[in-house]
Amino acid sequence: MSGNITLSIIKPFAIKSGFIGPIMAIITEAGFRISAIKSVKLTIGQAEEFYSVHKSKPFYNDLVEFMSSGPVVAIMFKKENAVEDFRELIGNTDPSKAKEGTIRKMFAESLQRNAVHGSDSDENAIIESDFFFAKKERF
C-alpha cells in the first residue's frame, strides 16, 4: 500500500526568485495538505546528511553547497498516494525534460537549481520528514 506523506523542499534559488507563493499555490490546488512547514538555512553538514545517498555522485559537493547557500522551505504534505503524485506534479529532475505544466518546467533554473525536492519513496518520505520535523510540529 502506498503511503500518504511526502517531503518537499523549495530550494534556495526558487526562494530568492520569489516563487514560494506560486509553487505552494500549485501544490495545494493539486490536493496536497500541509502537515508541517518551516523555513530553515541548512548547514553544510545537514545538507550532506540529507543528500548522503548521492555521496558518490560527481554533483554531490556542488549540490550540498547550493542547498546550504540560502534558506529553504521544507514542507511535509499529506495526500493519498503522496510520493508518486508529487513526483508527477514536479516533473523530471532535468527541467529540459520535464513536461509542460510541471513545477520544474515552470520554475527551475537548471538541473541543479530545479526549484523543488520531492521524496522518491514512502520509506524516504518518512526518513526525510523525520530529518526536518519533530512530532509536535506536525498537524
Residues that bind Mg ion (CB under 5 A): 120
Q: Which is nearer to ligand ADP, 54 or 139 (CB)?
A: 54
Q: Does 120 bind ligand ADP (CB under 6 A)?
A: yes
Cα distance between residue 77 and residue 59, in whole Å? 27
117 is catalytic: yes
Q: Which is nearer to Mg ion, 107 or 136 (CB)?
A: 107
Q: Does 111 bind ligand ADP (CB under 6 A)?
A: yes
* Catalytic annotation, pick one of 11, 104, 105, 117: 117
Cα distance between residue 67 and residue 61, in whole Å? 10
Q: Does 35 bind ligand ADP (CB under 6 A)?
A: no
Residue at grid coordinates 507563493: 21
Q: Does 124 bind ligand ADP (CB under 6 A)?
A: no
Rg of the Cα trace of the chain?
14
Candidates 14, 114, 129, 133: give the one binding ligand ADP (CB under 6 A): 114
**Residue 138 to residues 19, 31, 54, 73, 77, Cα–Cα distance (Å):** 24, 18, 28, 15, 10
Q: Residue 66: which of 102, 96, 110 has the closest Cα? A: 110
| Residue with nearest beta carbon to ligand ADP | 93
Say whether 47 sits in a helix, a strand or coil.
Answer: helix
Q: Where along the sequence are the contacts to ligand ADP (CB under 6 A)?
A: 54, 59, 63, 93, 111-112, 114, 117, 120
Active site residues: 117
